[in-house]
Structure 1
Amino acid sequence: MNTKMIKQIKNILITAVCGACGLVVVACQDNFLDVVPTDRVSDASILSDSVLFEAYVINRYMGTRLTDKEAEGTLPGFGRGFEYAMWSSLTDESIYNNDDNTWVIQRGQLAPENTGIAGTLWGRSYRSIREINYALANVDKVPMSQGKKDRLKGELQFLRAFRYHDLIRNYGKVVLLGDKVYELGDDLTSQDLFNRSEIKSGIEYVVAQLDEASALLPRDNDNGSWKLGRATKGAAMALKARLLLYGASPLYNAATWAQAAAASKAVMDLNKYSLYTGGYGKIFTVTDHSEIIFGRLYAQGARHVCLEIANGPNSYNAWGGNVPVQNLVNDYEMMDGTKITETGTSYNPQDPYKGRDPRFYETILYNGATYRGSTIQTFTPGGKDSKDGPSNWNTSKTGYYLKKFMNDALPIDNPWDIAGTQTWIYFRYAEILLNYAEAQNEAVGPDASVYAAINAVRQRPGVMMPVLKAGLTQAQMRTKIRNERRIELAFEEHRFYDVRRWKIANETENAPANGIEIGKSGTAFTYKVKEALTGKAFTEKQYWLPIPRAEIQASNNKLEQNPGY
């Protein structure tokens, strides 16, 4: 959220008119002491003032805080970026050191009554959809130019599409409300309000909405940049490309790989975006650059979760939150392109962090890594970032700490209102290239364009991994592409959905969540794999999240629960 938007929102407090929680409309207290609230703006005021109405639209980029530890000062966005526990800690990328309602999911104990950190997606999404429908139903009443109305309509359709995409990728079948704005006087008992459409119908509806949004949205945001953090044509097209990729995947089986490839190619053909060449780590700390298609911007002076203290090592007086697991570390290739397990690899188990893919060093803090003028020490005895160090209640259970997203120029000590200001990227160009490579490989096999897309990601300045060898079969290329997504997009809220849509979560999420124990004797180190989180488990039903029990009950049991729950 940029400074202009923050000031606008601070000056104009807007709430949804008779907002919905989930699919159930709750009453507005219109007659409460017959007092008009002073912290709200009436719907009549919103619809008669173009500035107020645009501020209402801007607010739809955010959501309501529905549970503890969601956001810090600023409201939640679309994903869980900038929260304490990241979505990565529900996968084989990391564990959250002190649980934060993640272990119940990692251990396969997810239930409609116990959804951990994954329980707010249904309610927040449908509340947001109703708020957006209200705006779309009334935008033509607002005194403003037709051009401004068209842009706002495009933004609203994009925002609604994003909410539906979030529902589809988490729950599968969803209730499609169309443009209806449900009011208290409506029949809220009709089964039509709770019928869940098939996944294919849901994806087709959202794709159509995104096509309409693309036609209305500008190619660039104001002044030829995308600094406002608001939707553009490219953002709508990127969301379409992602959703069709999901739709073509085995879990969904609701679109074709050719459709998915064409959607990604359309984004590439805009010739607007390019891979950032200033170093892999800086992709996530430089506020604005050519790889960002759509992101959420933050400003200093506004309270939000400070990534540096939330995830840093214990000797730096940080909290060691989302700690990478050995499973992910093992999947980083060597600089020569070999896997650490294959014959002829250059990997040395006595020096395991030497000569790895450069993205490893920008993503994970490991024993011996240079960090903020010091060196990470996770060894025992005596390592300052081990249980023998200060603030040892924050010691990583895996032996690793997260480096990706962290800005070393921002403070760890007393970071409030200063740190954690990095742009959270929802879509970036590398994802589009990898989306294209996967879809095109599945549609026609590993042709030259597949190699070109994946090699562009591997060969960017600052990474420069070897190009893939020629002559790969479709299956071999599939394996390479999946690993490339794992490495390039680590911790960016993709892995949770990737292993599910590929239907391999029964393998990846049933593997132990491992860490490393490093012993030191003199100058020599020993390395022993350990289980960092016990009880890791995944069952078939967990390919989709359960709809919270409260939502089922609120529908008078008319809302169908996902299978197995």
Structure 2
Amino acid sequence: MKRNIKNTYIWLTLIVCMTVFLSSCNEDFLDVTTTDRISDDAITSDSSLFEDYVINRYMGVKLQDKEAEGTNPGFGRGFEYALWGSITDEAIYNSDDNTWAIHRGLLSPEATGIAGTLWSRSYRSIRECNYALQIIENVPMSASRKQMLIAELKFIRAFRYHDLIRNYGTVVLMGDKVYYLSDNLTDESLFKRSTIAEGITYVVSQLEEAAAGLPASNTSAWPLGRATKGAALALKSRLLLYAASPLYGASSWETAAKAAKDVMDLGSYSLHNNYQSLFLTPSSNEIIFERLYVIGARHVCLEISNGANGYGGWAGNTPLQNLVDSYEVVEDENTAVPFDWNNSAHASKPYTDRDPRFYATILYNGATYRDRQVETFTPGGQDSKDGKDNWNTSKTGYYLRKFIDEKLPINNPWDVAGTQPWIYMRYAEILLNYAEAQNEAAGPDASVYSAINQIRSRAGMPDLPIGLSQSAMRTAIQRERQVELAFEEHRFYDVRRWKIAMDTENQPAYGITITKNADGTFAYTRKVALDGRKFEEKHYWLPIPLAEIQASNGKLQQSPNY
């Protein structure tokens, strides 16, 4: 086995059958040697074992059903059943997977759906990092290696705090203390939630310390799977962009722009030459931080879990018409315009001349896929309710293409899947971070245009028109993030931090009905794919699960208005 963050982990908590010895036929007790855990002494006396412990902090534990089947979840849900995009206007999960209640505004401390594990998993990981930082001085290894691992632990801990802040806003800052069940938990500071500004300040300082101690690159066989200086600075860029946004109001746009520029100035990253193949290429120079999987290690396989029913797939994360409509129509090499259902040319041929990222992200009626064209039309479409396995027919009329490797099988994929990376951070995000922050700080100057147009050019899109106002550029950047970063766990947080979720998340969850006419043409009718979609002001932040409030004897303050 390799010591890495792949699914072939070295388990530090081994599940082993305990061997019981009777000390004497005449003695009436058992002398039991526990073998279900590794002692502190073992970890502190073995530098390789300690490093394995650090590596495993990139993962968590399975805390609810259908969460990282066969594996342990990482920093994001990744390739699990329901992607985070399926609780946004990007998609719905075809068979619910605890997502529909969130779409319908039914999120509560008692019913958190797929969002219910973030609090407990994050704090568990923070405690594990604190434990490692507490004992590392006792580990026999070189001072330089210790400093690198300390920096790595600070990065992991900061990532967990960043996940808490972007979901709950105000969080409890634990410092370096390791709490035990035997501790006196009457200390009020244990349950005091910081302000957003305090949380941001703390995590940014941790990332700066991590960046100072992390290598520019890793020399292992999976160099992008462990923290680097670039990863720490990229996470700092993301967090400071959030901090400057209307929902947070905890930092300045100038500070956010500089943080993104610091990553750009490293000169270590560039855009991959092909948008679609990027998500199948673990070694791309665009990737700043990723998670890798291993062939043969069972986990949720994208091809079958998201495939169309006519191919034997389960539909899974099915894109909404809301997302489809956000991809521009290319009129000529210099001009792209928003798609408009009121434009007869658009409405009659809705999948013609769209932003190339549409074709790389979404399977639609007529798309060439594997050995045929996708058929979501009725009557008779192979990927419609008239096709086989019709219980897996998409409710939206679309299927997911992004991340899918067509060389991998849909049927019986279990021992061959796992070649795609799950990308946590990539260079295009940094360019988008910079463009947004710089536009808000100084208006749409040449550097803003340059950052956005690099991304559009890679995608095969025309440059943005010159002379945009700050407001028009803001709209363009928001659309660019929507289509460039689709299904990468950004949309949920973007619409909240921009404070536009009351609009975007109260729009119906639209799909499409496609009817094949007798002459072979198609008629397109928008439909509501999931009814009752609703968002309230309180949903800008997640509720802390009720069990966590109860465990604190009511001392932990709930998120506002829950």
Q: Same fold (TM over 0.5)?
A: yes
Partner of 1:171: 168
Deviation string 1:230-287 (CA, Å, 9 cap, x unpaired) is 000000000000000000000000011011000000000000000000x211110112
Matched, 1:472 2:468: yes
Name the CA shift for 1:342/1:401 in 2 (closer, same or farther; >3 Å): closer
Do 1:313 and 1:319's aligned partners in 2 also have CA atoms closer than 8 Å?
Answer: yes
Structure-1 separation of matches of 2:448 and 2:380: 49
CA displacement at 1:74 relative to structure 2: 1.6
Matched, 1:94 2:119: no
Name the CA shift for 1:6/1:326 in 2 (closer, same or farther; >3 Å): closer
CA displacement at 1:187 relative to structure 2: 1.3
Matched, 1:482 2:481: no
Structure-1 separation of matches of 2:162 and 2:197: 12
Do 1:91 and 1:509's aligned partners in 2 also have CA atoms closer than 8 Å?
Answer: yes
Partner of 1:227: 223
Matched, 1:300 2:299: no
Structure-1 separation of matches of 2:531 and 2:7: 47
Do 1:304 and 1:417's aligned partners in 2 also have CA atoms closer than 8 Å?
Answer: no
The one-letter code matched in structure 1 to 2:157 is: R
Q: 2:557 aligns with which of 551, 555, 560?
A: 560
Partner-residue secondary structure (3-state), 1:60: helix
Partner-residue secondary structure (3-state), 2:448: helix
Matched, 1:242 2:241: no
The one-letter code matched in structure 2 to 1:540 is: E
Name the CA shift for 1:560/1:244 in 2 (closer, same or farther; >3 Å): same
The one-letter code matched in structure 2 to 1:13 is: L
CA displacement at 1:334 relative to structure 2: 1.1
Deviation string 1:369-390 (CA, Å, 9 cap, x unpaired) is 0001111000000000000000
Partner-residue secondary structure (3-state), 2:318: strand
The one-letter code matched in structure 1 to 2:263 is: V
Do 1:335 and 1:358's aligned partners in 2 also have CA atoms closer than 8 Å?
Answer: no
Q: Which stretch has the larger CA shift, 35-44 or 122-131?
A: 35-44
Structure-2 separation of matches of 1:324 and 1:342: 18
> 1:290-439 maps to which residues of 2 (within 5 A)?
290-336=285-331, 337-341=336-340, 347-439=345-437
Name the CA shift for 1:274/1:84 in 2 (closer, same or farther; >3 Å): same
Partner of 1:449: 447
Q: 1:500 aligns with which of 496, 503, 522?
A: 496
Structure-2 separation of matches of 1:288 and 1:539: 41
Structure-2 separation of matches of 1:95 and 1:248: 30
CA displacement at 1:185 relative to structure 2: 3.2
Structure-2 separation of matches of 1:397 and 1:159: 38
Matched, 1:286 2:286: no
Q: Which stretch has the larger CA shift, 239-248 or 34-43?
A: 34-43
Matched, 1:199 2:196: yes
CA displacement at 1:37 relative to structure 2: 3.1
Structure-1 separation of matches of 2:451 and 2:149: 33
Partner of 1:111: 108
Q: CA RMSD in A?
A: 1.8
Structure-2 separation of matches of 1:205 and 1:36: 43
CA displacement at 1:73 relative to structure 2: 1.6
Partner of 1:255: 251
Structure-2 separation of matches of 1:119 and 1:189: 25
Matched, 1:542 2:532: no
Structure-2 separation of matches of 1:104 and 1:417: 34
CA displacement at 1:184 relative to structure 2: 3.1
Q: 2:36 aligns with which of 24, 28, 39?
A: 39
Deviation string 1:171-202 (CA, Å, 9 cap, x unpaired) is 00000000001123321121110000000000
Q: Which runs of 5+ in 1 are unaligned?
A: 17-31
* % identical equivalent positions: 65
Matched, 1:265 2:261: yes
Name the CA shift for 1:261/1:389 in 2 (closer, same or farther; >3 Å): same
Q: Which stretch has the larger CA shift, 418-427 or 291-300?
A: 418-427
Structure-2 separation of matches of 1:458 and 1:167: 32
Matched, 1:188 2:196: no
The one-letter code matched in structure 1 to 2:278 is: I
Q: 1:158 aligns with which of 143, 155, 160?
A: 155
Structure-1 separation of matches of 2:317 and 2:30: 47
TM, length-normalised to structure 1 = 0.94
The one-letter code matched in structure 2 to 1:434 is: L
The one-letter code matched in structure 2 to 1:141 is: N
Partner of 1:23: none
Partner of 2:25: none
Partner-residue secondary structure (3-state), 1:298: coil
Do 2:217 and 2:223's aligned partners in 1 also have CA atoms closer than 8 Å?
Answer: no
Do 1:50 and 1:143's aligned partners in 2 also have CA atoms closer than 8 Å?
Answer: yes
Partner-residue secondary structure (3-state), 2:246: coil
TM, length-normalised to structure 2 = 0.94
Partner-residue secondary structure (3-state), 1:294: strand
Partner-residue secondary structure (3-state), 1:418: coil
Partner-residue secondary structure (3-state), 1:427: strand
The one-letter code matched in structure 2 to 1:251 is: L
Structure-2 separation of matches of 1:73 and 1:369: 32
Structure-1 separation of matches of 2:543 and 2:448: 36
Partner of 1:208: 205
Name the CA shift for 1:122/1:7 in 2 (closer, same or farther; >3 Å): closer
Structure-2 separation of matches of 1:420 and 1:539: 38
Structure-2 separation of matches of 1:315 and 1:37: 52
Structure-1 separation of matches of 2:239 and 2:528: 35
Do 1:71 and 1:83's aligned partners in 2 also have CA atoms closer than 8 Å?
Answer: yes
CA displacement at 1:9 relative to structure 2: 6.0
Structure-1 separation of matches of 2:544 and 2:391: 35
Name the CA shift for 1:476/1:7 in 2 (closer, same or farther; >3 Å): closer
Q: Which stretch has the larger CA shift, 37-46 or 327-336?
A: 37-46
Partner-residue secondary structure (3-state), 2:512: strand
The one-letter code matched in structure 2 to 1:372 is: R
CA displacement at 1:39 relative to structure 2: 3.5
Deviation string 1:67-92 (CA, Å, 9 cap, x unpaired) is 11111222000111111000001000
Q: 2:71 aligns with which of 65, 70, 74?
A: 74
